[in-house]
Amino acid sequence: MKLTIKEIEERIHRLKEEKNELDAFIDELQSDERSGVKKIILRHEKALESARLLKVHYEQMMVFEKEWTSKGKHVIAGVDEVGRGPLAGPVIAAAAILKPGTYIPGLNDSKKLSESRREELFEEIMKNAVSIGIGLVTAHEIDEINIYQASKKAMVKAVGALKEQPDHLLIDAMELPLAVTQSKIIKGDAKSVSIAAASIIAKVTRDRYMKKLHRNHPQYQFNKNMGYGTKEHLEALERFGPVEEHRRSFSPVQQGSLL
């Protein structure tokens, strides 16, 4: 007696973690002429191809880690920052050392991911990290030393916050004044799994910070714009002026404070 479509789907779900048994079951289904079964097989094949492409992409993003491991570097940290452009809030950097052999499907530049996907990957990264370091530089400090120097300072702080000190750094488009070998990689958050991991940690950490800030200053909608100069944010600046978390060295904030 043939299994129903629902029973087939349930069995496939149960066998997800048993690759050999799942493959054998799919092979058995090939002779089933029902259109519903053919759709299940097609969906399964598409899922396999998607998983294969994710693996290929991940391997491509391991090129820098493999290069430096072959040179004798075994504690490699990716470093990235977020928050250069906003009118309010801190710049936050993260440093991430992933466990050897880690595979996190879908790991990519945080800007290319949805908020929900970033949150999911954040948890996976935290579970698969040897160490994570966070560095924060406030809006006041940004005004004092400029955003470029503040970004660099946040990165240095993030590396310093790691529990295990790295012997090589992979950094997104920056060189740091640290006594450790390092690679400056342009658009590194899309080319290195370690930098991508740091990018996601930094982005989620900063977004959570801005959502908390929203509770004290709801008129600026920091929970939606994360401090960036959206139309609503600029209108609120004109109406209410800046708060302590605004970067007064940034032109739109200066204009709002003069009204």
Q: What is the pLDDT of residue 259?
A: 45
Asked if residue 97 lies in contact with residue 164, where contact means CB atoms within 8 angstroms, the answer is yes
Name the strand (E) or helix (H) holding 134. Answer: strand 129-137
Q: Are residues 42 and 160 in the same domain?
A: no
Q: Are residues 182 and 219 in the same domain?
A: no
Q: Are residues 97 and 56 in the same domain?
A: no
Low-confidence ranges of the chain (pLDDT < 50): 258-259
Residue 92 falls within a domain, yes or no? Answer: yes
Domain boundary among 180, 201, 222: 201
Please give the annotated binding residues, written as ranges: 80-81, 172
Residue (of 169, 213, 171) closest to 189 by Cα position: 171
Q: What is the pLDDT of residue 257?
A: 57
Q: Exposed e or buried b for every residue in 107-131, given b needs 16+ CB within 10 A?
A: bbbbeebeeeebeebbebbeebbbb
Residue 206 falls within a domain, yes or no? Answer: no
Q: What is the mean pLDDT of the chain?
A: 94
Domain boundary among 44, 60, 76: 60
Q: Are residues 68 and 189 in the same domain?
A: yes
Question: How long, in residues, is the chain?
Answer: 259
Q: Are residues 50 and 83 in the same domain?
A: no
In whole angstroms, what is the distance from residue 65 CA to residue 24 CA? 36
Residue 99 falls within a domain, yes or no? Answer: yes
Q: What is the pLDDT of residue 13?
A: 86
Q: What is the pLDDT of residue 256?
A: 60
Q: Are residues 54 and 78 in the same domain?
A: no
Residue 72 falls within a domain, yes or no? Answer: yes
Q: Are residues 169 and 70 in the same domain?
A: yes
Q: Are residues 43 and 127 in the same domain?
A: no
Residue 248 falls within a domain, yes or no? Answer: yes
Residue 207 falls within a domain, yes or no? Answer: no
Please give the annotated binding residues for a divalent metal cation, written as ranges: 80-81, 172
Residue 19 falls within a domain, yes or no? Answer: yes
Q: Are residues 118 and 51 in the same domain?
A: no
Q: Are residues 31 and 93 in the same domain?
A: no
Taking the CA atoms of residue 98, residue 101, residue 105 and residue 107 in that order, the dihedral angle to the nearest 10 degrees is 30
Q: Are residues 30 and 71 in the same domain?
A: no
State the total domains in the chain.
3
Domain boundary among 14, 36, 60: 60
Q: Are residues 136 and 71 in the same domain?
A: yes
Residue 224 falls within a domain, yes or no? Answer: yes
What range does the domain containing 222 cover?
212-257
